[in-house]
A = this chain, B = another copy of it.
C-alpha cells in the first residue's frame, strides 16, 4: 500500500508535468506502476532540464523558494524537463506553476549548467534516494542532463506557494542558511545570485516588489539585500533618479512635514524598456 501510494504520487506529478493526464489517469486507475522511461522518449527533449531560482523579498528579508524532498532531509529547486513541442522559456513558466502554484512570474534566463560532474552516478544516486525515486523505473533520470537556470524576484508575502506531489512542502528559506540541497542546486542558487548582481548594472529591479508608491529608502533596501552591502544614500539616490525610471509623487505623511521623504512610483514604460533593452548610458 505504501508502494502504491508512492507510485500514485509519481503518476500525479507526471500527469501535471507532461500534460498527458489522460494516460496517467489511466495508469492510476489500473494502479500499476507507470513506466517512467516512456515519458522521456515521447514527451521530453532529451538531455536538457531546467531549474528555477525564485528569490523572495519582503521588507528587510531576502529568501529563496525550495521544495522539500520526500526523505525530509533534502531540498530542491522547482525544476523539471522541457516538453518536445515547448519553448524552453515557456517550460520554465509551466514547471514553476506545476511545482509551486506560482503564476505570471517574470523569469530571467541566467546560465546553462553543463559540467559532466553534475550527472555523476554518486550525485544522481543521492538525489534519487532523497526523492525516493530509487525504486521506480526512473533510469532515464540517471542519464546526463544539462540544466538551464532561470531566476525571478517576487514579493513573498503576496504569494502562497503549494508543493507538487513529488515534494513534501514548498517553503521560503533564508539565503544565508540554506538546508542541504540535491544535485548542484546550491551552486545554481549561488550562480543566480551572482548573475542577478551583474544584471542590476543593466536592468532595474523593484517592480512587483514594492507598493505602488514607495520611498527611495525602500528601493535602496532591495538593492542592499541583493548586493549584501550598505550603499551610500545620496549616491544611490542620484544614480537612481538619473535613470528616468522614477516619477516623483507627494511627500510621505509624517509628523514633521519638512523631514518627510518623497514618494515615488515607477515610470512603467521606461522601466520595461530598460528591462528588455538594458541601460545604455553608463558610458
Chain A positions within 8 Å of B, measured between CB atoms, are 45-48, 82, 84-89, 91, 109, 111-112, 114-117, 144, 146, 148, 194, 197-198, 200-202, 223, 227, 231, 235-236, 239, 278-280, 282-283
Contact = CB atoms under 8 A, between A and B. Distances in A.
18 contacts: A45-B47, A46-B46, A84-B144, A87-B115, A88-B115, A88-B146, A114-B148, A146-B148, A197-B280, A198-B201, A201-B202, A201-B278, A201-B279, A201-B282, A223-B283, A227-B283, A235-B283, A282-B282
Q: Which 6 A-B pairs have the closest CB atoms?
A: A88-B114, A46-B46, A47-B47, A201-B201, A46-B47, A198-B202
Nearest to A114: B88
A198 B278 contact: yes
A10 to B, nearest CB: 23
Given A116-B87, A198-B202, A278-B198, A146 B45 contact: yes
Most chain B CB atoms below 10 A, which of A116, A144, A235, A279: A116
A111 B198 CA distance: 15
Contact of A146 (B48, B235, B282): B48
A239 B283 contact: yes
A197 to B, nearest CB: 7
